[in-house]
Amino acid sequence: MLDNETVISAVCTYADTEKGLLREGIAAVGLPEEFVAVLPEYEEHFGERNRFLWQWCWKILYDQDPAFGFSSVPPACRRDAALVKLFIILATTVTDDVSDRHQNRRLLEVMLQVPFRRDDLEIPTDLTPEEAHRVRYLATLFDEIYARVEAAPRWAEFGDLFFFDLAQTWNSFWYAYLINRHPEAISHAENLSYNSHNMTIYICGTVDALYSPALRQEDLPHLRELVWYGQQMVRIGNWVGTWEREVEEGDYSSGVMSWALAYGLITPADIAAHRASGDDAAFLSYLREAKVEERLMEEWEEDHRRVREIGRQIRSVDAAEYIWGLETLMAYFLACRGLI
C-alpha cells in the first residue's frame, strides 16, 4: 500500500489541501473565442458536459504556466497547438458519449468514420435527425482541427503519425462500447492499452510534435514511450476522479471496474446484479472499502518511475516539465471530483 513518501501521496495531499483554490482558478479561466463559437450548438443539442470541463482543459493546455505539453513548442505556436487539442477533446467527448452513455452502436459506427472520410462522408438515411445532427457537428469540429494542423510547421513530416494516433483514439470508443455491452469480458491490461487512448494524451503529444520545429527526430522513440506511460497515468487519474459518477450512469469501462475484476474483488455476476438492482450505494461502498483507488494509484506511481527513467534520454523536450504536468493533471482530477 502507499506510504507517506511516494509522489502520489504528495499529489493527493496537495489536491486535498488546495482543492478550493484549484477549483476557483479553473472557474475563472476564459475560453478562446474560436472555441466559444462552437459551444452553443454543443450545449443546446449534445451538452452532457458543462463549461467547467472545458475551462479545466484550457487551464491545463494553455492558461497555466507552464502549460501541459512539449516545451519544444515555441511561444508563437503554443496557442494554436492548445486550440487544436481543445477541439480534439471536444470531438472526443461528443463521440465518447455515444459509446459510453448512449451505447448507440449504429450512430457510433458512423461517427467512427468521420475523421477519415473528409471528402466523401455521407450521412445514412436511417439515422434520426438528432443523430444526423451529431454527425454533422463532429464533421464541423474536424474541419476546425484539420484547418489548423495542416498548417502546422511539421505537418508534411509527421502528418501520418497524426492519423495513426487519431485512429487509436477513435478505436477506444469502440472498445468502450464493447466492454459496456459485455462487462464480463473486461481485462485490466486491455483497458489500459485501448481505453487510455480516449484521454487524447497520445494524439495531443503528436500535435505538439507538429508544432515543434526544433524537435529532434532521435528523441521521437523515447518521447512516444514517455507519452505512452504518461497517458496511462492520466487515464488512472480520470478513473479515480470519475468512476463513481460513471457507475451511477451504468458505465463500467472504468479501470476501477477492470482492476476489481482482474483481482477477484468482484465478478461479472456482481455487475449483472448491480445492473438489475440499481443499488448504486452498496456497490460503490464495497469498491471503496476494497481500496481499489489505492491500488490504481500504486500503478500510477510505477508509471511515474518509468517516465522519469525514459525522460533522461530526451534532449529536445524538457521531460521534467512534462512529468510535472502529469503530476498536476492528477491533482486536478482529484481536486475536481464530481465536477468533470
* Any domain includes 10: no
Is the pTM value of this prediction over 0.75?
A: yes
> What whole-number distance in Å separates Cα of residue 333 and Cα of residue 234?
9
CATH number at residue 208: 1.10.600.10
Q: Hey, what's the cell of 161?
A: 503519425
How far out from the chain centre does Cα 91 lie? Answer: 11
* Any domain includes 15: no
**What residue type is assigned to position 59 of the chain?**
K
Inter-residue contact 77 to 101 (CB < 8 Å): no
> What whole-number distance in Å separates Cα of residue 140 and Cα of residue 161?
22
Inter-residue contact 269 to 284 (CB < 8 Å): no
Count structural domains, the chain: 1
* Any domain includes 88: yes
Inter-residue contact 47 to 38 (CB < 8 Å): no
* Any domain includes 302: yes
Backbone angles phi, psi at 310, to 5 degrees: -65, -40
Longest alpha-carbon distance in the chain: 59
* Any domain includes 2: no
> For residue range 56-85, what is the model confidence (pLDDT) as tens digits?
999 999 999 999 999 999 999 999 999 999
- In degrees, to the nearest 5, what angle opens at C-alpha 291 toward C-alphas 241 and 182? 70
* Any domain includes 17: no
* Any domain includes 308: yes
Q: Which of 137, 132, 125, 126 is nearest to 90 (CA)?
A: 137
Task: Tell me: cis bond preceding 66? Omega within 30 of 0 counts.
Answer: yes
pLDDT at 2: 44
pLDDT at 338: 82
For cell 494524451, what's the residue?
201
The boundaries of the domain holding residue 91 are: 22-336
Q: Given CA atoms 197, 86, 203, 109 in this order, what sign does their dihedral have?
A: positive
Please state, rounded to an integer, the average pLDDT across all residues of the chain: 93
How would residue 209 be classed by pLDDT, with cut points 50, 70 and 90?
A: very high
pLDDT at 267: 87
Backbone angles phi, psi at 29, to 5 degrees: -70, 135
What are the CA-CA distances from residue 282 to residues 190, 212, 272 (Å)? 27, 50, 14
Range with the poorest average pLDDT among 26-35, 294-303, 319-328: 294-303
* Any domain includes 30: yes
